[in-house]
Structures are given as C-alpha cells and as structure tokens.
C-alpha cells in the first residue's frame, strides 16, 4: 500500500502523519467498524471480543492493544461522530460568545450525515444497560474536549468553574434533546424527524440561555 506520494522527508504538517500512525489509525478504525457490524447483526451482548477480532482480521490480543474492551470500541464510534460537534465549535469566530458557538455546534448533530450513525448507535446500545455507559463516556469525552477548546479560545484567564459548568450544561442539553427525541421517534431519520430533533436542540439550549425561567413549568 504505497500511495500518499506527497512528502517523503518533509514534515508536511507540524503533526507527524507518519505511515505508522496512519496504519494504526486504520487498524483502530477497522476494529471499531467490525464491532459495529457485529452489533448490528447480533445485537448488544451477542458477540465476544474474539468475534470482533476475527471480523476485523486481527488477533484477540491486538484488539486489546487498541481498546480496553468492547465498550471502548463502541464508544470510539460515538466519539468519531461527536467530534463533528467539536470541529464545528472550533470553526466559530473567536469573538462569539461561547454559549452561542456551542449552540451552533450542537445543531451540527442534527445534520443527517451526523445524526444517522449516532442515532443507530443509541438505538443499538440502549437495549443493554451495560452499553449505555459507553454513551455516557462519549458525552463526557465530548464535554472535556469542548472545555479544552473553550479554554484555548478564552486564554489563560478563563474561569475554570464557569467553563466546566457551561460545557457540562450544554452537553446536558444535547443529551436531553437526543433522549427526548429518541423516545418520541425511535431511530427515525426522516427529514421531519430530524427537524424535530433540531427543534429540541434549539429549545433546550434556548432554555439554558435564559436560565430556565418561564417555560420550565409550562
């Protein structure tokens, strides 16, 4: 597998994308994808690490070189898509209020290309109590990354408490919107279902921005 003829000895970007790194990333991805295949075909808890390794074409031991367990492998899938939210956040202008940036970034979640895999993952993992925690971890991971990105934007003087509370609250709104939407529409990914999801996101973050005043009791 040659290709990537660009750059041989040059430090193309600051971040070294060496061949080994790329290979490792590909292997990691292959394992995670294999886990998803089995999750789809056999359901939560219907397969073992050995099955995943076989599906991915690696040894059982190699699986554990990349992930600490099945949960982590599936969580990496959620991360992959939740990372879109983070990317969107980084793209916002630096002088925009953090809350507004986060609001826009969250709306990215309602994009069909992003929502589809996440919704499927949720529908598949919700059946198992044990796998539900891998979602928890994915949200937590996303929260931490938003905190890091916001801290980077605001500089050293950032108020750590405010940062954490805000990021946590925003993600809580995302969780709430997704949870309610999921209970209402299942894994329905039709445009109008997505529109509902998007509306829930807007509503939830709107409530957050107003300090949950009027509509809480309505």
Partner DNA sequence: GCACATATTTACACTAAGTGCATTTTTGCA
Partner DNA sequence: TGCAAAAATGCACTTAGTGTAAATATGTGC
- Contacting range for a copy of itself; rule: CB under 8 A; set: 22-30, 83-91, 95-103, 118-126: 95-103
Backbone angles phi, psi at 145, to 5 degrees: -70, -35
Q: How far is the CB of 136 from a copy of itself (least distance, A)?
A: 5
Residues 6+ apart with CB under 8 A from 141: 75, 79, 82
**Is residue 113 near a copy of itself by the rule CB under 8 A?**
no
Q: Which two three-digit tokens encode residue 78?
A: 């959620």
Classify residue 75 by burial, with Cβ atoms within 10 Å: 0-12, 13-18, 19+: buried
DSSP state of 108: G
Q: Give the per-residue SS3 of 140-155.
A: HHHHHHHHHHHHHHHC
Interacting residue with a copy of itself among 115, 142, 177, 194 (CB under 8 A): 177
Position 210 contacts a copy of itself (CB under 8 A):
yes
| Region of 60-68, 77-85, 110-118, 206-214 interacting with DNA (CB under 7 A) | 60-68
- The minimum distance between CB 141 and DNA, in angstroms, equals 18
Residue with tokens 């367990």: 69
Judged by CB under 7 A, the chain residues 5 through 44 that form the site for DNA are: 9, 18-21, 23-24, 27
Q: Which two tokens stand for residue 211?
A: 């300090």
HSE-CB at 215 with a 13 A cutoff on CA atoms is 10
Q: Which of 29, 33, 49, 144 binds DNA (CB under 7 A)?
A: 49
Residue choice 58, 99, 116, 187 for contact with a copy of itself (CB under 8 A): 99
Query: Which stretch, 24-32, 59-67, 97-105, 117-125, contacts a copy of itself (CB under 8 A)?
Result: 97-105
**Distance from first CA to last CA of the chain, Å, rounded?**
61
Quick note: the x/- pattern for a copy of itself over 119-138, rule CB under 8 A, is: -----------x--x--xx-
Q: Which residues contact 116 (CB under 8 A, 6 or more apart)?
A: 189
Q: What span, in angstroms and rounded, lies between the C-alpha atoms of 25 and 19?
A: 10
| CA pair distance 110, 64, nearest whole angstrom | 33
Where does this chain bind DNA (CB under 7 A)?
Answer: 1, 9, 18-21, 23-24, 27, 48-50, 57-62, 64-66, 68-70
Give the residues lining the site for a copy of itself (CB under 8 A). 68, 97-99, 130, 133, 136-137, 140, 154, 157-169, 171-173, 175-177, 179-180, 183, 200, 203-204, 207-212, 215-218
């Amino acid at each position: 597998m040659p290709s990537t003829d660009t750059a041989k000895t040059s430090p193309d970007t600051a971040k070294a994308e060496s061949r080994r790194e790329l290979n490792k990333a590909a292997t990691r991805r292959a394992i995670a994808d294999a886990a998803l295949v089995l999750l789809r075909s056999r359901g939560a808890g219907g397969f073992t690490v050995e099955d995943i390794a076989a599906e991915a074409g690696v040894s059982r031991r190699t699986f554990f070189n990349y992930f600490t367990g099945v949960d982590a492998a599936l969580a990496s899938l959620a991360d992959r898509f939740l990372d879109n939210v983070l990317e969107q956040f980084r793209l916002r202008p630096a002088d925009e209020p953090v809350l507004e940036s986060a609001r826009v970034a969250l709306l990215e979640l309602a994009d069909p290309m992003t929502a589809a895999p996440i919704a499927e993952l949720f529908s598949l993992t919700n059946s198992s109590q044990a796998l539900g925690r891998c979602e928890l971890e994915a949200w937590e991971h996303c929260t931490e990354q938003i905190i890091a990105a916001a801290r980077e934007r605001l500089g050293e003087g950032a108020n750590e408490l405010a940062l954490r509370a805000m990021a946590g609250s925003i993600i809580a709104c995302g969780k709430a919107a997704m949870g309610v939407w999921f209970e209402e529409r299942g894994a329905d990914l039709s445009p109008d279902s997505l529109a509902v999801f998007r509306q829930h996101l807007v509503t939830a973050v709107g409530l957050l921005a107003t300090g949950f005043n009027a509509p809480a009791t309505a």
